[in-house]
Amino acid sequence: MRASEPPREEDTGDEQLRFWDHTHEFISKGLYAPVAWFDDFFSDERALEEVPARSKVRLRSDLRFSEGGQAYMRTFLHASIRLPKASKKLKLIISDEDEDAVPVTTGELVKTGVRNATDADRADVGLRYNVLDTMLSRLHFGSGMKAETPLSPYVRVYYRHLFPLTEVSQIRFSGQARVKHNEGWRNTLQLGVERLFSESNILRWSNAVVLEASDVDYNWSSYIGFQQQISARNALSYTLGMSGVSDRRLIVENYRASIRFRRNFYKGWVFYEIEPANDWPRDDFGAYSPVASIAFRLEIQFGR
């Protein structure tokens, strides 16, 4: 009886190549593509960091009514413009949205009512250089200043990595650090778990911690969201979560529940949203009282 021959080096190499091909295929087609669709369709904060190598401008107008007759209205602008003559990895960023944004609640809006523009709303203008841009990892550096007097320069770094768990689930980690003149540093860490039930249904658990030089304590948030694609032009997002601060112990400042309907109603670049929500902000006595609200949102996107 002949002894079995040991596997040849060529066979071992082919098996390794097939393994990596299979891994790449299921990440890119089975998991990455559906997750990227939800990120891009809902155009959330994470989508601003994940914009591919193209120019994109987003103009968004919010109108929100809260229980008690309180109102809030504001228009947001975010532009990410390629500079191909300088470098394919370089972009011009113009934004009056917080680039360090994490999932937030309407607790402040509920308490203050009509919100006027402040210095914090003035646009940031800067450059972003992509150092690493792969399916699993992304790293970029940025520098610029806020359009105010006196000018307030800043330096920023962002890193994101995906850890595939199974063919339908992954862990998403991102960290960003910013140093701003006269304000010091600010670090934001985010950790999320994403589970795909089908190409049209995804469950997300997102957690964030914000640390600032001026504070010994930190802000935190934790949200569970379920996103559902109804059709190519319609989607729903259900969210339950809470946020707060750490003051020697974790304090929940607000609980939130919301349903967000988003529709692409013209071509591929005009959207509207309707978002009824209920918040339970913490008062000075530690009690939580419900405050209902509804938001209407119009968004126009330009890109190529």
Query: 78-108: per-residue pLDDT in tens?
Result: 888 888 777 778 889 988 765 444 443 333 4
pLDDT at 100: 43
Whether residue 276 is contained in a domain is answered as yes
Is 299 part of a structural domain of the chain? yes
Average pLDDT over residues 218-235: 94
pTM for the structure as a whole: 0.79
Task: Tell me, yes or no, whether 287 lies in a domain.
Answer: yes
Flag whether 4 is in a domain: no
Task: Indicate whether 169 belongs to any domain.
Answer: yes
Number of H helices, E strands in the chain: 4, 14
Residue 3 forms part of a structural domain = no
More confident site: 255 or 30 = 255
**Structural domain containing residue 125:** 9-303
Please check whether residue 244 is in contact with residue 253, taking contact to mean a CB–CB distance below 8 angstroms.
Answer: yes
Q: pLDDT digits over 229-238, tens only? A: 999 999 999 9
Distance CA 228, CA 96 (A): 29
The pLDDT of 101-127, averaged and rounded, is 49
The predicted pLDDT at position 223 comes to 96
Query: Is position 254 within any domain?
Result: yes
Mode of pairing for the β-strands spanning 56-66 and 270-281? unpaired
**Structural domains in the chain (count):** 1
Whether the per-residue pLDDT at 299 is higher than 90: the answer is: yes
Give the pLDDT confidence score for residue 83 in this predicted structure: 81
**Which stretch of 83-87, 187-191, 219-223, 291-295 has the lowest confidence by average pLDDT?**
83-87
- The letter for the amino acid at 165 is L
Chain position carrying tokens 């400042």: 253
Q: How many residues does the chain have?
A: 304
Distance CA 104, CA 256 (A): 10
How high is the pLDDT of residue 296? 97
Question: What span, in angstroms and rounded, lies between the C-alpha atoms of 79 and 65?
Answer: 27
What CATH number does the domain containing 22 carry? 2.40.160.40
